[in-house]
Amino acid sequence: GAVVSQHPSWVICKSGTSVKIECRSLDFQATTMFWYRQFPKQSLMLMATSNEGSKATYEQGVEKDKFLINHASLTLSTLTVTSAHPEDSSFYICSARQDYSPLHFGNGTRLTVT
């Protein structure tokens, strides 16, 4: 079945550094990818939607200069958390779909900023 690979699964970084998270669709062309953030005991919160070859659409309250999203190919999207701070510590999840087929989720990246 369709698989979305998210890497890394967890990362620890120092405050002020940038972290890049990759989301890859392994056996399908992901025309749309979604990035979510999840705080403990809370539901997924959609951060942005990206379509291949175009700029990402960010949800209200999400800083586009803080969370850089690139969807340069049909199999890869990246989320870069720039100048990370401890409040950016969270669980980040991507999902991908081809056209209007079912969503496939990555297994998430746990980011800890010290």
Partner 1 sequence: KNQVEQSPQSLIILEGKNCTLQCNYTVSPFSNLRWYKQDTGRGPVSLTIMTFSENTKSNGRYTATLDADTKQSSLHITASQLSDSASYICVVRCLGEYGNKLVFGSGTILRVKS
Q: Which residues in this chain contact partner 1 in the complex, by CB under 8 A?
A: 1-2, 10, 32, 34, 36, 38, 40, 43-46, 49, 59, 91, 93, 100, 102-105, 107-108, 110
In angstroms, what is the minimal distance from the CB of 19 to partner 1? 17
Closer to partner 1 by CB, 42 or 73: give it.
Answer: 42
From the number of C-beta atoms within 10 Å of its C-beta (0-12, 13-18, 19+), residue 70 rates as middle
Alpha helices (runs of H) in the chain, residue ranges in sequence order? none
End-to-end CA gap in the chain: 37
Cα–Cα dist 105/114, whole Å:
27
The dihedral through the CA atoms of 40, 45, 51, 55 has a sign that is negative
Assign 87 to helix, strand or coil: helix
